[in-house]
């Protein structure tokens, strides 16, 4: 699992360890993804059994997604609390998150439950933020998770399972609530991407200013020594 993104990374004595609780939760989350996709797929196939159990399959997908989201919270919480920072977790955890969300969004769009432009916004935003973090890492900088980014994640994780369930239990319009949540997530994603971009630009400008100041000081010392 990865450490808090708001804090600089440091070497951990067991950074190459694989078998720990956060990593097990991350692997479990990856295993849940085919169950989600399979349930949604079979709920709309022409088989007699699947047609008779559409509601069950939809709920299996929805609750499995909720379980996967819960593991995402707990593996991060445990990793931070016990200071478990591993190379395997740092690699797999963000990939598992993106696989879970992006594959679910694509499947929901294929089923006609979410607009294609919403999917494009959310998927392209994830790609953009990943590229932004790589750029920041190359410059030795950190892109912290902002409030808007947290709201994007929260509304997204609420909206997706509601759209998967696609039911009206006790008069609760899950598809409508899911649409509202996922549209809010797309709005938050755009504003958070802008927020991250502006924040990184300011950090890069500050870094350039500090580097120029250091070069001036070095030049001054060099001239002093020569004189």
Residue 167 three-state SS: coil
For residue 163, tell me if it sits in a domain.
yes
DSSP string covering 122-158, please? HHHHHHHHHHHHHHHHHTT---PPPHHHHHHHHHHHH
For residue 127, tell me if it sits in a domain.
no
Within 10 Å of residue 43's Cβ, how many Cβ atoms? 21
By the 10 Å C-beta count (0-12 exposed, 13-18 middle, 19+ buried), 165 is classed as buried
pLDDT at 136 over 90: no
For residue 126, tell me if it sits in a domain.
no
* Cβ contact 152:185 at 8 Å: yes
For residue 2, tell me if it sits in a domain.
no
pLDDT digits (tens, 9 = 90+) for 41-85: 988 775 666 666 888 999 999 999 999 999 988 887 787 787 777
For residue 187, tell me if it sits in a domain.
yes
For residue 168, tell me if it sits in a domain.
yes
Q: What total of structural domains would you count in the chain?
A: 1
Domain carrying residue 170: 21-119+134-226
CATH label of the domain that carries residue 155: 1.20.120
For residue 178, tell me if it sits in a domain.
yes
pLDDT digits (tens, 9 = 90+) for 77-111: 787 787 777 777 777 888 888 999 999 999 999 99
pLDDT at 115 over 90: yes
Q: What's this model's pTM, rounded to 2 decimal places?
A: 0.82
For residue 145, tell me if it sits in a domain.
yes
């Amino acid at each position: 699992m990865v450490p808090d993104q708001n804090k600089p990374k440091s070497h951990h004595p067991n950074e190459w360890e694989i078998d720990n609780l956060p990593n097990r939760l991350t692997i479990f989350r990856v295993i849940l993804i085919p169950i989600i996709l399979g349930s949604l797929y079979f709920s709309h196939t022409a088989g007699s059994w699947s047609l008779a159990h559409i509601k069950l399959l939809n709920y299996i997908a929805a609750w499995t997604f909720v379980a996967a989201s819960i593991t995402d919270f707990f593996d991060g919480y445990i990793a931070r609390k016990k200071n478990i920072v591993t190379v395997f977790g740092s690699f797999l955890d963000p990939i598992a998150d993106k696989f879970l969300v992006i594959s679910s969004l694509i499947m929901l769009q294929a089923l006609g439950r979410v607009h294609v432009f919403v999917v494009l916004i959310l998927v392209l935003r994830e790609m953009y933020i990943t590229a932004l973090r790589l750029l920041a890492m190359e410059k030795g900088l950190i892109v912290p998770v902002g409030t808007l980014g947290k709201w994007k994640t929260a509304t997204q994780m609420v909206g997706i399972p509601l759209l998967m369930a696609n039911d009206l239990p006790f008069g609760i319009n899950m598809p409508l609530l899911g649409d509202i949540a996922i549209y809010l997530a797309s709005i938050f994603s755009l504003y958070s991407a802008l927020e991250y971009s502006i924040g990184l630009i300011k950090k890069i400008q500050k870094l350039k200013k500090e580097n120029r100041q250091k070069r001036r000081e070095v030049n001054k010392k060099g001239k002093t020594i020569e004189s």
